[in-house]
Amino acid sequence: MAASNKTRAGRRDPGSTADEKAAPRAPDGSDPIGPIAPAPFTREEDLRAYRDMLLIRRFEEKAGQMYGMGLIGGFCHLYIGQEAVVVGVDMAARPGDQVITSYRDHGHMLACGMDPKGVMAELTGRRGGLSKGKGGSMHMFSREKNFYGGHGIVGAQVSLGTGLGFANWYRGNDSVSLVYFGDGASNQGQVYESFNMAELWKLPVVYIVENNRYAMGTSVTRSSALTDFSKRGASFNIPGRQVDGMDVRAVKAAADAALAWCRRGAGPIILEMQTYRYRGHSMSDPAKYRSKEEVQKMREEHDPIEQVRVRLLAAGVTEAELKKIDAGARAIVSEAAEFATQNPEPDPSELMTDILL
């Protein structure tokens, strides 16, 4: 037990051979977290969720248009349909908690509070982009907002995010690492190597599986022997929960519980967010693997933004007020697009910078 003098209850030192099993499990071995009560939102919470989700939706629609115009190149993966996941989790998170995800990252960055102009200018490869135009849609980072990327290799962020959790454990701080990955990524070997270490060392990591039912053209039933992703930690004794990822309230409640679990030193936890992407995997997706009806049904019956809109109207918020919120989101996005179009490309000298310090 050399390195850590701040080890809290339940946390084990990496490398320690101590045999203690200090996880606060229920005495009868039953579910240690207990049920997660879906908490109703206050009107302010609903308004915030509405605003944040709408910003992501409008941003992504614009990005899709700009890709079509050739202003954005390469791979561009839109988040439309999944907005409730990042917004709900962000509503539960605290400053200091880290976020890491895959290439489908625009929504996560906006939810983290990263500047839409900087995100859009990165999409167009301009010098004002968050990575100076060098990273593109899949690779953006923000030290300031504790956003650790934007990773193109499926599954890689799961080990990296576990490392962020390790750093929290090492420093003995109260922060939690929020690690997002897809249903497809859940089959990568390093995910399980990470699970084992995270539970072994009781690292503060929330593994958030964004189960949007498809990995490119492969549905979860065609790729996964066990499609209940909340159970993927079972052989490591990591608890998990399935969550309606289209309902921002359910997401926030689950994230609240998971973060509390991590903050009291109980180790990692898995949240399977059941969600859906409306658009193709990337812009070049022939979408022959699912029916139009399936997509239309999700949009019409489960849309995360529409759910909040209905609630707000019922609570007496007027159409005009909601229109104003939408106009606000559109204005932010238009300004970002304008900036991303006018901002110059990086200086050629940038080609050979940032390779080593």
Partner 1 sequence: MPNILMPALSPTMEEGKLAKWLKKEGEAVKAGDVIAEIETDKATMEVEAVDEGVLSKILVPEGAENVKVNTPIGFIAVDGEAEAPSAQVDVVPEPAQPAAPAPQAPPKPSAQPKAPAPAEAEYPADAPMVAMTVREALRDAMAEEMRRDDSVFVMGEEVAEYQGAYKVTQGLLQEFGPKRVVDTPITEHGFTGVGVGAAMAGLRPIVEFMTFNFSMQAIDQIVNSAAKTLYMSGGQMGAPIVFRGPNGAAARVAAQHSQDFAAWYSHIPGLKVVAPYTAADAKGLLKAAIRDPNPVVFLENEILYGQSFDVPRIDDFVLPIGKARIARRGEHVTLVSWSIGMTYAHKAAELLAEEGIEAEIVDLRTIRPMDVETIVRSVMKTGRCVTIEEGWPQSGVGAEIAARLMVDAFDYLDAPVLRVTGKDTPMPYAANLEKLALPSAAEVVEAARAVLYR
Ligand X SMILES: Cc1ncc(C[n+]2csc(CCOP(=O)(O)OP(=O)(O)O)c2C)c(N)n1
Residue 15 interacts, among Mg ion, partner 1, ligand X, none and using kind-specific CB cut-offs from 5 to 8 Å, with none
Please state the closest distance from residue 204 (CB atom) to partner 1, in A: 27
CA-wise closest residue to 326 among 50, 40, 67, 94: 50
Residue 104 interacts, among Mg ion, partner 1, ligand X, none and using kind-specific CB cut-offs from 5 to 8 Å, with ligand X
Is residue 266 involved in binding partner 1 (CB under 8 A)?
no
Please state the closest distance from residue 210 (CB atom) to ligand X, in A: 6
Contact call for residues 23 and 202 (beta carbons, < 8 A) = yes
Please state the closest distance from residue 76 (CB atom) to ligand X, in A: 12
Residue 139 vs residues 17, 109, 130, 289: alpha-carbon distances, Å: 38, 11, 9, 27
Is residue 133 involved in binding partner 1 (CB under 8 A)?
yes
Residue in 82, 101, 124, 194 binding partner 1, rule: CB under 8 A? 124
* Binding positions for partner 1, 207-226, rule CB under 8 A: 215-218, 222-224
Residue 326 interacts, among Mg ion, ligand X, partner 1, none and using kind-specific CB cut-offs from 5 to 8 Å, with none
Contact call for residues 22 and 10 (beta carbons, < 8 A) = yes
Report d(CA 296, CA 294) in Å as an integer.
6
Whichever of 12 and 151 has its CB closer to partner 1, that residue is 151
Is residue 61 involved in binding partner 1 (CB under 8 A)?
yes
Residue nearest to ligand X (CB): 182
Using CB under 5 A, list all residues that contact Mg ion.
182-183, 212, 215
Is residue 288 involved in binding partner 1 (CB under 8 A)?
yes
Residue nearest to Mg ion (CB): 182
Q: Which long-range contacts (CB under 8 A, 24 or more apart) does 309-313 make?
A: 309/50, 311/41, 311/46, 312/43, 312/46, 312/47, 312/50
Residue 12 interacts, among ligand X, partner 1, Mg ion, none and using kind-specific CB cut-offs from 5 to 8 Å, with none
Contact call for residues 261 and 199 (beta carbons, < 8 A) = no
CA-wise closest residue to 110 among 59, 181, 151, 69: 59
Is residue 161 involved in binding partner 1 (CB under 8 A)?
no
Contact call for residues 116 and 52 (beta carbons, < 8 A) = no
Residue in 292, 293, 314, 357 binding partner 1, rule: CB under 8 A? 292
Map 172-223 to HEC letters.
Answer: CCCCCEEEEEECCHHHCHHHHHHHHHHHHCCCCEEEEEEECCEECCEEHHHH
- Residue 210, beta-bridge partner list: 182, 273
Is residue 48 involved in binding partner 1 (CB under 8 A)?
no
Whichever of 89 and 283 has its CB closer to partner 1, that residue is 283
Angle (CA) 254 257 260, round 5°? 145
Residue 328 interacts, among partner 1, Mg ion, ligand X, none and using kind-specific CB cut-offs from 5 to 8 Å, with none
Please state the closest distance from residue 158 (CB atom) to Mg ion, in A: 14
Total count of residues recorded for the chain: 357
Please state the closest distance from residue 321 (CB atom) to partner 1, in A: 17
Whichever of 133 and 265 has its CB closer to partner 1, that residue is 133
Using CB under 6 A, list all residues that contact ligand X.
102, 104, 152-154, 182-185, 210, 212, 214-216, 281
Residue 120 interacts, among Mg ion, ligand X, partner 1, none and using kind-specific CB cut-offs from 5 to 8 Å, with none
Binding residues for partner 1, total number by CB under 8 A:
71
CA-wise closest residue to 82 among 323, 312, 299, 230: 299
The secondary structure of 52-109 as a DSSP string is: HHHHHHHHHHHHHHHHHTTSS-S-----TT-HHHHHHHHHH--TT-EEEEES--HHHH
Residue labelled with tokens 């992703």: 229
Whichever of 118 and 182 has its CB closer to Mg ion, that residue is 182
Residue in 107, 161, 184, 239 binding partner 1, rule: CB under 8 A? 184
Is residue 315 involved in binding partner 1 (CB under 8 A)?
no
